[in-house]
Amino acid sequence: MTLLVILVGIIAFSNLVLLGGLAYLAITVKRLVDTSVKPAIAEAASTVKTVNELADKVEERAEHILDISEQTVRRVSGSVVATTDMVRHGVTSPLISVSSALAGVSRALGALKRAS
């Protein structure tokens, strides 16, 4: 019976030592989480917040650039249409008139040469 009590005592003592070791490991893991994991999570959250703010700024600037580009395209196309109309009316019509007059003069000269 004495041997049984000693063995039970050894088992109880071993269980207490294991329980103490587990408690120590739990405290160590908690400290590690507090000193390493929590700051890393806070830093990651801060980084995500900064990235979101930058993405919003980029989106706003991209929309602004698109608006300016659209306005520029409208102005340029308007200028192209105006220039085309000006060339058509200011250059083409007089050229046709001059060409017609030269053709008339050329035929008149040709007719005069044949008549003489």
Q: With the C-alpha atoms ordered 6, 12, 16, 19, is the resulting torsion angle positive or negative?
A: positive
Q: Which two structure tokens, joined as six digits, stand for 95?
A: 């050229």
Percent of the chain past pLDDT 90, that is, above it, reads 48
- pLDDT of 66 reads 93
| Three-state DSSP class for residue 69 | helix
User: Over the stretch 52-101, which tens digit does the pLDDT of each residue have?
Assistant: 999 999 999 999 999 999 999 999 888 888 888 887 777 777 777 778 88
User: What are the structure tokens assigned to 87, written together?
Assistant: 């060339």
